[in-house]
Structure 1
Amino acid sequence: MNHPVDIKKLKLVKIGNSTGVILPKEVLDRLNLSAGDQLTYTQTPDGIALSSRGDDFDSQMAAARDVMKRYRNALRELAK
């Protein structure tokens, strides 16, 4: 399924011993991000996808891992 693509160039800048990417305001607004927020990226067959996630994502994942660990045998039986 091909979607129209709006291609824009981003600038890489030197930041100490690292390199950063300058994101335009419209990208930050769309991702609901501001300076200091965290951004995640995912490798996809078409390249890299950027996304923001809520502050509670890590705690929700930790809770899910705990449940999966505690109920591993039950979940394994249910998967049959």
Structure 2
Amino acid sequence: MGSFSIWHWLVVLLIVVLVFGTKKLKNLGSDLGAAVKGFKDGMAHGTGSSDSAANTSAAPQVTADKASADKATIDVEAKTKS
């Protein structure tokens, strides 16, 4: 089957730019770069003390009362067959 030539890749790139547009591709690239940077920072923090890293990076837990829950939500209990 062989590998694709440079012309095949240029046609694919042209089609991608036409479909998504340059602005969306630029935003996608910057989001991907920020995600990679965040991953690297997280890995760097993960190699240090686990107690201090857990305390500084832990997000607060959000809880909700049943009164403030969405009225459209339906609670269902699963029952096992005997």
Highest Rg: 1 or 2? 2
Please, what TM-score do these two structures have when normalized by structure 1?
A: 0.33
Query: When you count helix as a share of all residues, which structure comes out higher?
Result: 2
Please, what TM-score do these two structures have when normalized by structure 2?
A: 0.32
Higher relative contact order (CA closer than 8 Å, sequence separation 6+): 1
